[in-house]
Amino acid sequence: MDSFNTKAVHGEKVPGTIKSKITPIYQTSVFTFDSLEDMEAHYNGDGSYLYTRCGNPNSDELAAVTARLEGAPSGVAASSGLGAIMAAILAVAKNGDHIVAAHDVYGGTFYMLKEELARMGIQASFVDFEDQAAIQAAIRPETVILYTESIANPFLRVEDLNAMSTLAKKNNLVFMVDNTFATPYLVKPFELGADLVVHSATKYIGGHSDVSAGVVVGKEEYIAEAQKRVINIGLNLSPFESWLACRGAKTLGLRMERQSSNAKKVADWLSTQEKVKEVFYPKAVSEKGNGAIVTIHLADQADESAFFRSLGWIQIVPSLAGVETSVSWPFGTSHRSLTAEEKAAVGVSEKTVRISIGIEEAEDIIAQLEGALNKA
């Protein structure tokens, strides 16, 4: 079972006496035992499930399918992408440790690293990851993690994962990669040397804008620690949302193929428009495509408010990756918590528009964008 789509569709189901085609939703807070000895066996490692915060067949299935698609041995699901990132970081870092992160990570991640982890005594430095000398200079004796994104949000810089993996190993660091934008359909960071790979499964793994979920996969020793953090901090994912994300994962390859193809057409068209100052779309991500996000800077003379008001059926949202094309305004959403100086450093301005391309006909998406640009 080597092909991506076959792996996505045919995963290991939780064993049961009822032979259902699809794993049922185990919508229960607790699991029962036949005796005190049966319960004790669970704590001795011979049982399966106890309490949904500590594990559930549906969340385990989501972790397993994501790990399988990434080529990793193990995984654990969490309540959101940020929850997965937190669990993964705390599997490695403790009070007094330090993280070196790419300066152009997702705004929510930036804030969590800068503010929330600092409250726990874990410091972070943000560096331009296109400058390996700067990365090396930022590494301290207490540094434990090198953190980046396979495709950065929102300007879609493609990370050199081989180079970063080599640098991490040279400095005995855990290499951690957020693979949300690329998905394992396009890039498998674990196979390129990452120790931990995180996903906001809210995005492409779920794929239908109806779930909030996260997954971290990677080396078994780190996942075992991440699972403890999920349990002890209460970062677990509900059974129903796990089930929805598993359902979405089955069509991940099909959706990414279509959405990436559409994105390339839209990016090419946008590059010809006078109301568009700059187009950001990756190149050479994978032979399968370059992802489904296109980011633009509107021209200086364009009215961004008029553009957003005139998008027709393209909806304005703070997120991405559904089957419907949508747009977001990073300045006021994903990167809202950054200071003016921090926004300027990564290039986010009021003219920045992130477009999440859906599965509609590319020509119809272009027609909607053209109408909005004409009004801008």
Residue ranges of domains in the chain: 4-249, 252-375
**Average pLDDT over the chain, rounded to whole?**
95
The CA–CA distances, whole Å, from 276 to 196, 267, 292, 304, 309 equal: 37, 11, 19, 11, 17
**Does residue 307 have a pLDDT over 70?**
yes
- Separation CA 239–CA 26 (nearest Å): 6
Which one of 13, 49, 51, 53 is the catalytic residue? 53
pLDDT, one tens digit per residue, over 26-37 is: 999 999 999 999
Count the alpha carbons within 13 Å of 297 in the hemisphere toward its beta carbon. Answer: 11
Classify 359 as helix, strand or coil.
coil
Catalytic site residue from 60, 97, 104, 178: 178
Specify the DSSP class assigned to residue 209. S
Q: What pLDDT shows up at residue 1?
A: 61
State mean pLDDT over 365-371.
98
Unique residue bearing structure tokens 């995180």: 198
Asked if 106 is an active-site residue, the reply is: yes
Q: Which helix (H) or strand (E) holds 167?
A: helix 161-170
Instruction: Using pLDDT thresholds of 50, 70 and 90, give the confidence band for residue 321.
Output: very high
DSSP run (H or E) holding 77: strand 74-78
**Taking the complete model, does pTM exceed 0.85, yes or no?**
yes
Q: CATH assignment of 4-249? A: 3.40.640.10
CA angle (155, 160, 164) in 5-degree steps: 120
**Gap between the Cα atoms of 162 and 268, Å rounded:** 29
Could you give the angle at the alpha carbon of 133 between the alpha carbons of 127 and 137, nearest 5°? 70
pLDDT in tens, 293-304: 999 999 999 999
| Crossing angle of the two packed helices 81-90 and 220-233, in degrees rounded to 10 | 120
pLDDT in tens, 257-286: 999 999 999 999 999 999 999 999 999 899
pLDDT digits (tens, 9 = 90+) for 223-257: 999 999 999 999 999 999 999 999 999 999 999 99
Confirm if 103 and 155 have CB atoms less than 8 A apart: no
Of 58-62, 346-350, 351-355, give the lowest mean pLDDT range: 346-350
Are the folds of 4-249 and 252-375 the same? Answer: no
Catalytic hit among 7, 26, 97, 106:
106
pLDDT at 12 over 70: no
As a residue count, the chain comes to: 376
Instruction: Answer whether CATH 2.60.260.20 is correct for domain 252-375.
Output: no
Is-catalytic flag, 53?
Answer: yes
Q: Which residue among 7, 203, 275, 343 is the active-site one?
A: 203
Cα–Cα dist 193/165, whole Å:
5
Q: What is the pLDDT of residues 165-223, one digit of tens each?
A: 999 999 999 999 999 999 999 999 999 999 999 999 999 999 999 999 999 999 999 99
What's the CA gap between 275 and 62, in Å, rounded?
Answer: 42
